[in-house]
Amino acid sequence: MAVADGCMRAVIEAIHSSPTQAVLYLSGGASQALGWLMSVPGASNTVLEAVVPYSRMSMIQLVGKVPAQFASSRNAEDMALLAYNRALKLSKPGYPVLGVGFTGSLASARAKRGDHRFHLSTRTSNQLWMSTVTLSKGLRTREEEDRVSSQYLIKAIANACKVQATFFSELTESEVPEEFETKFNEDEELQQVISGQICFKVYPFSRDFPDTERKIILPGSFNPLHDGHLKLLEVATSICGDGYPCFELSAINADKPPLTVSQIKDRVKQFEKVGKTVIVSNQPYYYKKAELFPGSAFVIGVDTAVRLINPKYYSNDHSKMLATLGGCKSTGCLFLVGGRNVDGVFKVLEDLDIPEELEDMFVSIPPEAFRMDISSTEIRNKLR
């Protein structure tokens, strides 16, 4: 089937016109689907990354274990979850993302004792979908089985993108897919963030779909969110220029118990009221945040910058500090540093001794552009 053929092309055009961005992990079949997706203009709107872990070792490295069975629904589900988390990291902020996992055991040069089958899973923020299709053995060539599985994959992507797939399926009446889906409510999604199953959840309250992939992120506990936070991110965005401003709330704290789901939801409501995007993550450490949000600019106070460059927090190892922050730098991350009161003295970035290797990673927010001496702790005390 040529991708230009009527219905299939129309479905793929509709997929590319949707805001959903996807990562695909495919092994053992559905290879023609990649060609179809990539040959229709607009593929860059949809496909963030496509990986084919075909060898045994490639698959083991992808899923981080030796699967009990390589062509299995469990392995496809694991692949879809990994793809979903990868899509979160690569996508434009606020866009819906999709993870796709496919693994198959199709016709090959040698006759197979078992069934010819494939397993497909898709993962979105609030849904896990799984399907297994057992093909009629000996009915088709390898190329034909690949085409059938590719059609089915395109249909699954269309469904996840909320696009109607109307093209003809070449599955026979006896080849009935075994399908099931699991829906997640908000509490379950947040619990998955806390447990580390998914790396973060985005609340795009600003309702902007930015053209840039770069994020300008102000992390914090936001207990409470106040005007200083809003103003600081506004100023940082004006300094940074290109980038999508958003806040980041970590469910996990290095020194305190994790936030509960109800605590997270209460703090998220603050951002809904002011129409600002917030990301709920599970990483309290900046070297891990850099992995979650590659290429981002993090907005921090000078007190945080002091801790970042202090070897004390790296087992008193200066080289370890340089290596850790060098890893952040290699992801393309920057730190925009605002002045803060430190032990009763207002300090700015220029007061710190930044290692020469890292100087271009730190950018000062001038005090004349932003200065607020009151802290969240003081605000909480006043509210009490």
Contact 182, 250 (CB under 8 A): no
Reported as type and span, the H/E element at residue 183 is strand 178-183
Domains of the chain, by residue range, sit at 6-183, 187-383
Q: Per-residue pLDDT tens for 325-372?
A: 999 999 999 999 999 888 888 999 999 999 999 999 999 999 999 887
Closest by alpha carbon to 201, among 259, 140, 145?
259
DSSP 370: -
CATH ID of 187-383, from 3.40.50.10680, 3.30.1300.30, 3.30.565.10, 3.40.50.620: 3.40.50.620
Q: Per-residue pLDDT tens for 260-284?
A: 999 999 999 999 999 999 999 999 9
Q: Per-residue pLDDT tens for 62-78?
A: 999 999 999 999 999 99
What pTM, to 2 d.p., does this model score? Answer: 0.92
Q: Per-residue pLDDT tens for 24-72?
A: 999 999 999 999 999 999 999 999 999 999 999 999 999 999 999 999 9
Instruction: Provide the pLDDT for residue 161.
Output: 97
Asked whether residue 213 carries a pLDDT value surpassing 90, the answer given is: no
Please state, in angstroms and rounded to a whole number, the distance separating the CA atoms of residues 303 and 342: 6
Instruction: Provide the pLDDT for residue 374.
Output: 63
For residue 332, report the phi and psi dihedrals to the nearest 5 degrees. Answer: 90, 15
Asked whether residue 166 carries a pLDDT value surpassing 90, the answer given is: no
- Both tokens of 380, joined, read 């909480």
pLDDT (mean) for 147-159: 96
- Both tokens of 384, joined, read 């009490």
Reported as type and span, the H/E element at residue 291 is helix 286-292
- For domain 6-183, the CATH class is alpha beta
- Both tokens of 280, joined, read 């709920």
For residue 222, report the phi and psi dihedrals to the nearest 5 degrees. Answer: 50, 50
Asked whether residue 1 carries a pLDDT value surpassing 50, the answer given is: no
Q: Per-residue pLDDT tens for 220-242?
A: 999 999 999 999 999 999 999 88
